[in-house]
Amino acid sequence: MNESIKRSFSMKKPKFTERFPLLDIMLTCMTIVLVLCFGYFLFVFLNSSTSATSSLSVTDTIPSTIDEIESSFSGIKIVTEISNDLNAPFAIQYPQSKHIQFNDEVKKYIKTLKYNYLTDIAAYKQNHQTFPSELNISFETFEHNGIYSFVIVKNEYIGDNEGEISIHTFRLNPDTGDRITIEHVFDYHLQHLLEISQLTEERLYQDEALINHLLPEQVAIHTQPIWENFQNFALAENEIIFYFEYNKLANSEAGIPIVAIPYQTINPLLTEFLQALIVEEKTEKPNTAQSAINQQEATKNKEIRNNNVEHEEIPKQKRVALTFDDGPDPKVTTRILETLERYDAKATFFMLGSRVEYYPEIAKSVHEAGHELGNHSWTHPDLTKANNDKIASEIDRTTTIIEEVTGQKPEIFRPPYGAFNDNVLNLTDLSMILWDVDTLDWKHRNASQLLSYVKQNTRDGSIILMHDIHTSTADGLDAVLAYLAENDFQFVTISELSE
């Protein structure tokens, strides 16, 4: 029995008693490759996680103050975040609504800008010990037929790098939370898109401030009848505004190319509810800012007439008041001061208290150069939506810091956005100052267009609004001063204008 079993086992030998050496080599190589790949991906994952966590922690640990206030647009709040951190200062404003999805989209965009700013600072810091840097994000709100358009403007500079500017828009139906796209505006009609494409290209070449800076091949690409080319737009009161990317279809000297097309020009192309609104908008709305200017002019003219009675033999010289808002800024304000000095021109600077606190030496240099200092609030909120304590704090804190830093107590006040009411007026003894020439430098960021607006609108006694936080304003100021000087305008401060 045992022998038969042995024989049986001996008859069941496997076909291969040993493997080929080549197979062992292949299996070994495959194992090594798999181990190496796993190790590589593990390293990448851990490194990226650490980097993300580190960046997030840096962002979260930067000291900042966050304020939220109602805007003048129903259902919209303005969030303001300011950091005076020595390594990464920033001033950020963005809109929020009652709609979570919209809020998340805006916050995500703002967070991305902030993250990129901090990342750029970290990269620049590898080769530089100390350097100035700043991130400014502000926004403008337009309303058309119940639809809000938010135009978010970013201005960033780090060290000696060329400043970065961008404009990004969001549209919202505040009642439903729906976001409005360019397809909605033109009813998804491709023929309408083609006509808008052609009209936009024509207007770009008709713009005298852009014509010498356009890049024809890029213009053709970015104005093709593709919906995506026209998604960055705003529905303003009387026109649709298209914003194109900086340094894309025009060189950097052109700033951000902007094309505005009145609704009446494209009435047949618009979706029905926009066409109906055109009729409603034929009645002009009162301009609160201009009304206040007229009141100031009436008072000023009365004083001038009294002076003329006493000094009839002295011919009256044309005068203009240059004003700069939202500073001080270490780069732009300094350049503006240098340009003003070349023309022996005095101006008025309406400063934000939060920026005076961070840049006291710049504020002091403005005062020492003989310019007038004005109060522009602490954080640039819409004061018509603030309670009494908030209004008083915004104004009083700014007055205090300006006086502490410069020794000059401001006697004039310009409300953020030019927005004020009786409540704001009653809570300050400072004289309210607005403007009658808006250069829109915050919007176009174009040095050439700065002069264009001044030429079209400036007259004797004008108050010109500019901002000393935009590089393009500093770039274009020399041409503005040269033009005004050639046309016999005398540069005066706001207080001198009232004399």
252 confidence band (pLDDT: 50, 70, 90): confident
pTM exceeds 0.85 for this model = no
241 confidence band (pLDDT: 50, 70, 90): very high
Q: Is 412:374 a contact under the CB 8 Å cutoff?
A: yes
- Separation between Cα atoms, residue 87 and residue 132, nearest integer Å: 8
Q: Is 478 a catalytic residue?
A: no
Check pLDDT > 80 for residue 301.
Answer: no
Give me the sheet containing 77-83, strands edge to edge.
65-70, 77-83, 90-96, 133-144, 147-158, 164-172
Sequence-separated contacts (24+) of 33-36 with Cβ below 8 Å:
none
Say which DSSP state 53 is in.
H
| Closest C-alpha to 382, from 413, 424, 348, 336 | 424
Domains of the chain listed by start with CATH number: 65-280 (3.30.565.40), 288-497 (3.20.20.370)
- Separation between Cα atoms, residue 349 and residue 275, nearest integer Å: 42
The SS3 of residue 446 is coil
86: which 2 tokens?
């020595």
38 confidence band (pLDDT: 50, 70, 90): low
Q: Is 467 a catalytic residue?
A: yes
> Which residues of 263-310 form beta strands (DSSP E)?
none
Check pLDDT > 70 for residue 19.
Answer: no
Q: Is 214:254 a contact under the CB 8 Å cutoff?
A: yes
Q: What is the pLDDT of residues 133-187, one digit of tens each?
A: 889 898 889 999 999 999 998 988 898 877 788 999 999 999 999 999 999 999 9
Identified catalytic residue from 99, 168, 222, 467: 467
- Separation between Cα atoms, residue 229 and residue 200, nearest integer Å: 11
Q: 179 to each of 10, 116, 153, 167, 170, how far by Cα in Å?
A: 82, 26, 19, 18, 8
22 confidence band (pLDDT: 50, 70, 90): low
* Beta carbons within 10 angstroms of residue 482's beta carbon: 14
pLDDT at 61: 62
The DSSP bridge pattern shows strands 319-327 and 490-492 to be parallel
The SS3 of residue 211 is coil
Identified catalytic residue from 325, 436, 441, 475: 325
In the numeric block, the tokens 């901090």 are attached to: 118
pLDDT at 256: 87
42 confidence band (pLDDT: 50, 70, 90): low
The SS3 of residue 280 is helix
Say which DSSP state 71 is in.
-
% of the chain exceeding 70 in pLDDT = 81
pLDDT at 49: 44
pLDDT at 24: 66
pLDDT at 231: 97
The rounded mean pLDDT for the chain is 84
| Closest C-alpha to 113, from 130, 138, 96 | 138
Which of 261-275, 331-345, 454-468 is the least confident region?
Answer: 261-275
